[in-house]
Each structure stands twice: as C-alpha cells, then as structure tokens.
Chains A and B, each alone.
Chain A
Amino acid sequence: MLANFLIGLREGLEAALIVSILVAYLVKSERRSDLRYIWTGVGIAVGISLVFGAVLTYGPKGLTFEAQELIGGTLSIVAVAFVTWMILWMATAAKGLSRTLRGSLDEATRPWSLVVVALLAVGREGLETALFIWAATQAAARDTGATLQPLLGALLGIVVAIVLGYLMYRGALRINLSVFFTWTGAFLILVAAGVLAYGIHDLQEARFLPGLHTIAFDVSHVISLDSVVGSLLKGIFNFSPVTTVLEAIAWVSYVVVVGTLFVLRNRAAHRPAATPVPQGAAS
C-alpha cells in the first residue's frame, strides 16, 4: 500500500505543483476568467493519458519500450521549454502588473499557451502514470488474487499530491505578489531543471543520447527512491539518486542560464517603482 501510494504521490506531485502555481498566478492577477484554459489543458492531458493508457493496457496493441521512452523524453524537454516560458512570462508580467498594464502584450497567444503549459505539465508523465493506474486496476479486477490495495494506494497518492498542490495554492494566495513571483520563479526553475535532467535521462536510457553509465554521483544508498523523502524529492524536483554527468551538466546549465535571466527580468520588473505600486507588489 505504502509503495503504491508513494508512486502515485511521486508521479502526481510535480504536475500538481506547476498547475497550482499557474492557478495561483491567474487568481492573484485577477484573471480568473483564464482559469478555464488551465482546466482545459489539464482535462485534455488526463483524458488522453487515460485513454491511451487503457488502449495500450487492454487493447490488442502495446507500446514498445523505445517508443514510450522517446515520447516521455521528448515531452519532458518540450515541457521544460514551456515551463521556462511560463517562468519568464510571469516575471515579465509582474512588471506589467506593477504598472497596471496587465495582459496587453501577447493576449492572443496567451490562452493557448496556458492550455499547452497545463497540458504538458500533466501530460508529461501522464502516460506512464495512466499505465501504472490501469495496472493497479487490473490487479483489482483479476480473477484470482484480486487486490484493491494497489489501486487505493495509487489513487490516494495522487489525491495527496493534488491536496499538496492545493495547499501550495492557498499559501501562495496569502503571500504578497512580489514574494510570490520570486519564490515560485525560483522554485519552478528547480522543477524545470529537474524535468530537463529527467528527460535527458530518458533519452539516455533509450540510447538516443550517450553517457548513461558516466555517473556524476550516486547517493542511492543514502536517499532511496522508495522512501518518503526520496519520493518527495523525486516527485517535486525529479531528483535522481544516481545522476549521470550529462544530466548534471544540463541541470546546472539550466539553473544558471534561466536563473540569471529570471533575476535580470525580475529586477527590471521592480526597478521603475516611481509610480505608486498596487497593493502587494512592493518589494
């Protein structure tokens, strides 16, 4: 039960956190009407994942390992691009916000972008999660030795991930906008760097990229992935106890480059504070 719970938690956590940050951002910037784009993206991702997962589990066709890995790896890297865009967009939007010029820049593309970010955040590991859920469902439905435990554990894990996402959202609503941007931005950079490293690992496993056995560090004896701490680290930051050199390079490069961009944009956003600043946006 605990093991399946941890898998559900791990697979659901990152998506729940990214979505909750997006929702918090829209709510805080009084764009509740745009929330529907988020839910559309989430809905599409959950729907597609469950349907494909069911087709692959119960249908006459399965997916080869190579194909699954390529899909997972590619989606991860695409997701990183979108989350990066989201981070920088929110930093820039903060600037617009502080001048009460909100949302005039790329109004046309924004709803679509919101759909896609939400879709990728949830859909990235959606297929793997769906395959896991359906396997748990099969275990609950099989003729002999049926057991509901794995399914309950898995669903409970996902529910807890969503609850944690919700708590993050509630917390985010309480803090002021400037702090919100700084912290969520920094947080998302670490999340996205983890996703990037994970995507690279996927592609290394499928041998689309080399260097799977060139290890930067191995702390698997200290932090095991089937522990609660390991699951949380993996779920939130995609922390991998055994990290390849290529993953590590990608992670560090991403944090440095995007982190720098983020700090520069954030600073620019808060510099022209000569005009009266709306409530909550003061740094």
Chain B
Amino acid sequence: MIRSLVAPVLAAGLLLTTACTDNTAASGDARTMSVKASDTACEVSSVEAPSGTLTFKVTNEGSKINEFYLLGEDGLRIVAEVENIGPGLTRDLVLSAPAGTYFTACKPGMVGEGIRGDFTVTDSGEDVGPKGEDAELVAEADKQYASYVRDQVDQLVTKTEQFATLVKERKDDEARAMYADARVHWERVETVAESFGDLDPQMDAREADLEAGDEFTGWHRLEKDLWPARAEGYTAMTDAERATVADKLVADTATLYDRTRDMTFTASDIANGAKGLLDEVATGKVTGEEEYWSRTDLWDFQANVDGAKVAWEGLRPLLQRKDSALDGQIEKAFASLQALLDKHRDGEGFVTYDKLSEDDIKQLADAVNTLSEPLSKMAGAILS
C-alpha cells in the first residue's frame, strides 16, 4: 500500500522542481501587476499585460479575508486564484496566461461573485507552453523548423557570396541568372530574417518603401543595377559602388548566419511565421512589387509558400490533435495554390511577372487568401 502511494507523493514533489516559474522581476515589469484589495474595492495597477508568466501582487488593505481570481472570458472559468489573503498581507499569484480576455476578481469575505474588472492579455509572441505530449510535439516542431532555418541560411550564405562575386566582376548575365535562385533561400525564411530589425532593411528594402534620407542597399539595389530597363534616367553603379553594396550584403548575410545558429522557435513563432510568409506573398509577390526590376516575383512567391508549408508540416502532428478539420483545410488550400503556381513554371523557374494576365493574378491572389484564412487560425488552434 505504501509503495503504491509513494509515487503520487513523489510526483507532486517533483512538480515543485519542474513547475517552478520565475518570481517577480523588478517592479515596472509589464507582467507584474499590483492589486489593492479592500472590503469594497479591487484596484489592479494595469488592465493589460503581455502574454507569458504574469504575477499579481495582491495586498489586502481591508479587514476581511480576501481572495483574488483571474477568470476566463466567460467569467466562470478560474484561470488562477490565491486564497487566504489575510488583512495586511500581500500574496503573489503567479500564472502563465495566453493572450485573451479575462476578468480579475477580489472576493472579500470569500463570498459571492467578487469585485470584478476587465483584464486583457496581449499576444507577446511568447509561448505559454503546452504541456505533456503536446510539449514534445512542440519541441519536435521547433527542432525541425530550426534546422530548416539553419539549412536555408547556410545555402543563402554560399549563394550570396557567389552572387556578390559575379556582381563585382560584372558578369551580369551570370549574376542575373543567379539572383532569383539565391534569393529563394532568403524568402523561404523571410519572417525569421525580418525578425532582425537591423538586418532586414539593409538587406531587403525595396526602393519604393524607403523613407527620405534612407540609403538604398542590399539585394534590390543590385537588382536595379542588373535590370535597369524599367528605371528612367538611371545612372549605373560604378565598380566601387557595386563592391560596397555587394560586400555589405555578404557581411550582413554572415551576421544573419551567426544569429540563426542557435535560434529556437515556439509553436506560436512557427505558426505566426507561416501566416507571416503568406502575408508577404499577398502584399509583395502577388502584386509584383517585390522584384520590381527583375520581375522574378514568382520565385519569391514559391519560396514564401515553401517556407509556410514547412512550418505547417512541422506543426501538423500537434494541429491534427487539436483541430484536424483545420489541418485538412490547410492541406487542401496548399495543394490548390501549388497547382496554380505550377501553371506558370518555365524550365527550372517561373515565367516573369509581366507574363501574367490580370486574370492569372486574380486567381493567384484568391488562392493565397484561401490559404491565408485557415493558416491564420493555426496559432490559436495549437495554443488552445
């Protein structure tokens, strides 16, 4: 009898070591709220916090025994509570909360519905951790996606170096042939690359998006010099100018390489990344704005879709458990988008954007939206 009961005791004890969570950091931390509870009021210092591990420091300034609750959107589900807040005491409620709408409630005298207030948890991108088997699936998805990112950036480094050399040596035909092929690796992990706010504008800014005074560098600067046909009154770059931009691009790519080596991804990172890639398609590629000079938008289009597909595939085991209908919807939408894209293949690559009819573009845009819609629900489904 003893032995059979020791196990749960040990398991509970183990929880103490595994389920620990960081105690409150410095005050002023957006995830730490103070709560002044009295017999008649319940003042929370902030009505909003970013998702993650939240701490409510509840001080009972009244005379009755108080309790503090965080309730779910329905006002019924107890997300977390702390009891036994005697008069004069401050007790901490520590919990991990995903983004959503909540209610705070103090219960002076431990009766009734409590004194309620609205509380919002915003999405900080921080994953609040699925548990158990889900956690393993998330870890697996992270492993897969991280290695995909490393592999793509790896290839990007090699091809960018080759491309830069060709540009500097003014082997323009070869450089033009290489351009889209090299950029594919960037576009496949574009949302990750864009997460580095300093690198992205230097490497991938489009001239049309530049603010006055911004320097035009990176991929698209070289693109313009290689395909100046659509540029009116364009002055070609000098050798020195080309070398500066090309070397900078190589150096930035090396930095990107270093930074992606030990990156890890939460389930919501991956899911939101997939959605982000589709947004890239919708805003830049379908419209033919991304590769304005080279008209190689469909290469980028395909690469963004590739990246989103890999992200989704990594999450599939988890998604199928949580919402297999949604997974099926995504699968179908990927297939029809791919079928449509395949119509515009030309040899190793694609036709240029100017070969697309308005109807083609409309069809592509519709297919992107059809995929975007269920894909945007993936993060929510996984984290629920």
A1-40, CB < 8 A from B: 1, 3-4, 6-7, 11
Residue of B whose beta carbon sits closest to that of A205: B78
Q: Which residues of B contact A92 (CB under 8 A)?
A: none
Q: Could you write out 23 A-B pairs with CB less than 8 Å apart?
A: A4-B87, A7-B65, A61-B23, A62-B24, A63-B21, A63-B94, A64-B53, A64-B80, A65-B80, A65-B94, A65-B95, A67-B20, A70-B19, A71-B12, A74-B12, A78-B8, A116-B2, A132-B84, A132-B89, A132-B91, A150-B89, A224-B111, A225-B111
B83 at the interface (CB under 8 A from A): yes
Q: Which residues of A contact B1 (CB under 8 A)?
A: 85, 109, 113
In the bound complex, how far is the Cα of B86 from the Cα of A205, in angstroms? Answer: 21
In the bound complex, how far is the Cα of B1 from the Cα of A149, in angstroms? Answer: 44
Q: Which residues of B contact A150 (CB under 8 A)?
A: 86-89
> How many Å from the CB of B17 to the closest CB on chain A?
10
B74-92, CB < 8 A from A: 76-92
Which of the residues A4, A81, A226 comes within 8 Å of B110, measured between beta carbons? A226
Q: Which residues of A contact B2 (CB under 8 A)?
A: 109, 112-113, 116
Q: Is the CB of A4 within 8 A of B21?
A: no
In the bound complex, how far is the Cα of B80 from the Cα of A3, in angstroms? Answer: 23
Which of the residues B88, B93, B94, B111 comes within 8 Å of A4, measured between beta carbons? B88
Residue of A whose beta carbon sits closest to that of B110: A225
B94-121: contact bitstring with A at CB < 8 Å (1 yes, 0 no)? Answer: 1110000000000001111000000000
B63 at the interface (CB under 8 A from A): yes
Q: Which residues of B contact A4 (CB under 8 A)?
A: 65, 86-89
Which of the residues A60, A66, A212, A241 comes within 8 Å of B19, measured between beta carbons? A66
B208 at the interface (CB under 8 A from A): no
Q: Is the CB of A7 within 8 A of B84?
A: yes
Q: Which residues of A contact B87 (CB under 8 A)?
A: 1, 3-4, 149-150
> How many Å from the CB of A81 to the closest CB on chain B?
6
> With A67-B19, A226-B110 known to touch, is A136 a contact of B89 (CB < 8 Å)?
yes
Q: Is the CB of B109 within 8 A of A147?
A: no
B interface residues (Cβ-Cβ under 8 A, vs A): 1-2, 5, 8-9, 11-12, 15-16, 19-24, 53, 55, 63-65, 76-96, 109-112
In the bound complex, how far is the Cα of B21 from the Cα of A205, in angstroms? Answer: 20
Q: Is the CB of A62 within 8 A of B86?
A: no
A251 at the interface (CB under 8 A from B): no
A174 at the interface (CB under 8 A from B): no
In the bound complex, how far is the Cα of B62 from the Cα of A226, in angstroms? Answer: 13
Q: Which residues of A contact B15 (CB under 8 A)?
A: 67, 70-71
> How many Å from the CB of A148 to the closest CB on chain B?
9
Q: Is the CB of B21 within 8 A of A64?
A: yes
Total cross-chain contacts (CB, 8 A)? 143
Residue of B whose beta carbon sits closest to that of A59: B23
Q: Is the CB of A135 within 8 A of B5?
A: no
Q: Which residues of A contact B5 (CB under 8 A)?
A: 78, 81-82, 116
In the bound complex, how far is the Cα of B17 from the Cα of A71, in angstroms? Answer: 12
Q: Is the CB of B95 within 8 A of A64?
A: yes
Q: Tally A residues with Cβ within 8 Å of B.
A: 53
> With A3-B65, A4-B86, A78-B9 known to touch, is A61 a contact of B81 (CB < 8 Å)?
no
Q: Is the CB of A52 within 8 A of B86?
A: no
A200-226, CB < 8 A from B: 205, 207, 212-213, 220-221, 224-226
Q: Which residues of A contact B81 (CB under 8 A)?
A: 65, 205
Q: Is the CB of A220 within 8 A of B19?
A: no
Q: Which residues of A contact B53 (CB under 8 A)?
A: 64
A185 at the interface (CB under 8 A from B): no
In the bound complex, how far is the Cα of B14 from the Cα of A52, in angstroms? Answer: 12
Q: Is the CB of B78 within 8 A of A212?
A: yes
Q: Which residues of A contact B93 (CB under 8 A)?
A: 65
Residue of B whose beta carbon sits closest to that of A131: B91
Q: Is the CB of A213 within 8 A of B76?
A: yes
A102-119: contact bitstring with B at CB < 8 Å (1 yes, 0 no)? Answer: 000000010011001000
> How many Å from the CB of B129 to the closest CB on chain A?
10
Q: Is the CB of B84 within 8 A of A11?
A: yes
A55-100, CB < 8 A from B: 56, 59-67, 70-71, 74-75, 77-78, 81-82, 85
In the bound complex, how far is the Cα of B2 from the Cα of A112, in angstroms? Answer: 8
Q: Which residues of B contact A77 (CB under 8 A)?
A: 8
A155-196: contact bitstring with B at CB < 8 Å (1 yes, 0 no)? Answer: 000000000000000000000000000000000000000000
Q: Is the CB of B109 within 8 A of A224?
A: yes
In the bound complex, how far is the Cα of B91 from the Cα of A135, in angstroms? Answer: 6
Which of the residues B9, B63, B65, B92 comes within 8 Å of A75, measured between beta carbons? B9
In the bound complex, how far is the Cα of B90 from the Cα of A70, in angstroms? Answer: 23
In the bound complex, how far is the Cα of B19 from the Cα of A66, in angstroms? Answer: 9
In the bound complex, how far is the Cα of B65 from the Cα of A225, in angstroms? Answer: 9
Q: Is the CB of B84 within 8 A of A128?
A: yes
A139 at the interface (CB under 8 A from B): yes
In the bound complex, how far is the Cα of B1 from the Cα of A81, in angstroms? Answer: 10
Of residues B64, B92, B111, which shows the largest number of chain A Cβ atoms within 10 Å of its Cβ?
B111
In the bound complex, how far is the Cα of B86 from the Cα of A64, in angstroms? Answer: 20
Q: Which residues of A contact B63 (CB under 8 A)?
A: 3
> How many Å from the CB of B39 to the closest CB on chain A?
10
Q: Which residues of A contact B86 (CB under 8 A)?
A: 3-4, 7, 132, 135-136, 150, 153-154
In the bound complex, how far is the Cα of B66 from the Cα of A150, in angstroms? Answer: 13
Which of the residues A65, A70, A71, A85 comes within 8 Å of B82, measured between beta carbons? A65
Of residues B23, B82, B88, B92, which shows the largest number of chain A Cβ atoms within 10 Å of its Cβ?
B88
> With A81-B5, A150-B88 known to touch, is A62 a contact of B65 (CB < 8 Å)?
no
Residue of A whose beta carbon sits closest to that of B86: A4
Q: Which residues of B contact A7 (CB under 8 A)?
A: 65, 84, 86
Q: Is the CB of A74 within 8 A of B65?
A: no
Residue of A whose beta carbon sits closest to that of B109: A226
> With A3-B63, A63-B94, A112-B2 known to touch, is A147 a contact of B88 (CB < 8 Å)?
yes
